Amino acid sequence: MDKKKLSEADICLKFITPDLVASGWNVDEQVFQEFTLKAGRMVVRGHRAARDNASIRRADYMLCHRADRPLAVIEAKDNTHSLNAGMPQAIAYAELLDVPFAFSSNGDGFLFRDRTLGDGVLEREITLDEFPSPDELWQCYCAWKGWSADVRHVAESAWFPGKPPRYYQIIAVNRIVEAIAAGRDRVLLVMATGTGKTFTAFQIIWWLWKSGARKRILYLADRNILIDQTMVNDFKPFKGAMAKLSPNQKGVERVDVETGQRFIDQLDLAVHKTTKLVDKSYEIYLSLYQAVSGREDEDNIYKQFSPDFFDLIIVDECHRGSAAEDSAWREILTYFSSAAQIGLTATPTESCSNKCATVRISASARRRTTPHRHPRRTTALPLLRSARAPAAISRNPVPSCRCTGERSDPTICSLSKTGLTKLISDSFFGL
């Protein structure tokens, strides 16, 4: 067989895929070929729209410990190219997926780039027979992360099976779950509008809940639509263990995306309509701030729970009501201060204290087509391009953190309007 006459697809079919199978990789659950990282920009000309093929990004292979835990990428080239010809692409895709292992191959062997430097070597050539097994890469990955046994137990739990997540959602969920499992109790997730914060929050809760790392969860928002639609859509798999902290029953319309049929779903309520007593048998509660707090003590339904009842609180659109230090809604977060608290926002505006880890998702993941209708204040700070870069230093520190209300240390981290899929400082997650 003359390899020089084979196409790239033939090289994958005849050499790379068989080698992966021989090394123990499950091609149905761990190997994803032609994995789309970026679907490409939409180009509109007149009344027609089409994808810009030049901006589409696909990895020839994405290798996973599980479908929700990427480990490595492989970039394949035909045999007329050198062994290392695909490495620049492999490195770029590995950075997008936030994985330390990258491979390039032309069918003769592999160039293996190991960013963990487990054996002190960054790049080396290996034969087809020397390709590492899933367990070997996973062990190296866990050692690189420096996980304890407890963190690893949580990390090895599974996502809820359903619609496939986008690559940046995978990164966000994995990083936040790792942070919470490692003991971080204040995390801010910055995701651009339209990038799926609610779906991401669902997967975070599912993962921590099913692994046993968190058992009672409170999800807070400031508008009914953010609670009701969340309960009947992304959070629907929690039905039976989930209730709304409200005494007022209301049907919520839901449209089946497959059939187009409309349904009216009734929400489970945790507050008795007459007595206003809370049913504490549920594990996941969703609530409006204003539904559980008020000027009078009898209106503060949240005080029916003990301060240590919840061990995880997620605050949607945390840049709004709960952000102000003098807000009555902030009392809820202060009351449950022992719980891990995750803030979700698309518009961060202030610096965080050293207790608050930050994960940010690029606005380029889903670009806005219309400008904001009102200006949003941002702290003018340099953006970090590398997870290994030192923390940014603010010349104009602001008094408090949006997600905790605590005094902030401007030398720890910074937030800016433009998001990146990077951590602000390696001091947060130990990268």
d(CA 196, CA 191): 8
d(CA 392, CA 358): 13
What residue ranges define each of the domains in the chain, with the CATH number in brackets?
A: 3-145 (3.90.1570.30), 149-429 (3.40.50.300)
How many percent of the chain have pLDDT more than 70?
Answer: 77
Element housing 32 (H / E): strand 31-38
Q: pLDDT class for 399, splitting at 50, 70, 90?
A: very low
Query: Torsion angle, CA of 231/236/240/245, rounded to 10 degrees?
Result: -10
pLDDT value of position 136:
95
d(CA 408, CA 304): 31
| 49-58 confidence digits (pLDDT tens) | 888 888 889 9
Q: pLDDT class for 203, splitting at 50, 70, 90?
A: very high
Strand 284-288 relative to strand 262-266: parallel, antiparallel, unpaired? unpaired
Residues in the chain: 431
pLDDT value of position 428:
29
* CA-CA-CA-CA torsion sign (156, 157, 160, 161): positive
Q: What is the largest CA-CA distance in the chain?
A: 83
| 214-238 confidence digits (pLDDT tens) | 999 999 988 888 898 899 889 999 9
DSSP class per residue in 372-388 = -SS-------PPP--TT
Tally of CA atoms within 13 A in the half-sphere of 57 that contains its CB: 18
d(CA 157, CA 150): 11
Q: pLDDT class for 349, splitting at 50, 70, 90?
A: low
d(CA 27, CA 74): 14
Are 280 and 272 in contact, with CB atoms under 8 Å apart?
Answer: no
Q: Give the lowest-confidence range in 29-43, 289-303, 345-359.
A: 345-359
pLDDT score of 426 more than 60: no
Would you call 5 exposed, middle or buried from its count of C-beta atoms within 10 A (0-12, 13-18, 19+)? exposed
d(CA 421, CA 419): 7
Q: pLDDT class for 322, splitting at 50, 70, 90?
A: low
pLDDT score of 95 more than 60: yes
Are 77 and 83 in contact, with CB atoms under 8 Å apart?
Answer: no
| 300-320 confidence digits (pLDDT tens) | 889 899 999 999 999 998 877
- Residue among 130, 155, 136, 135 at smallest CA distance from 145: 155
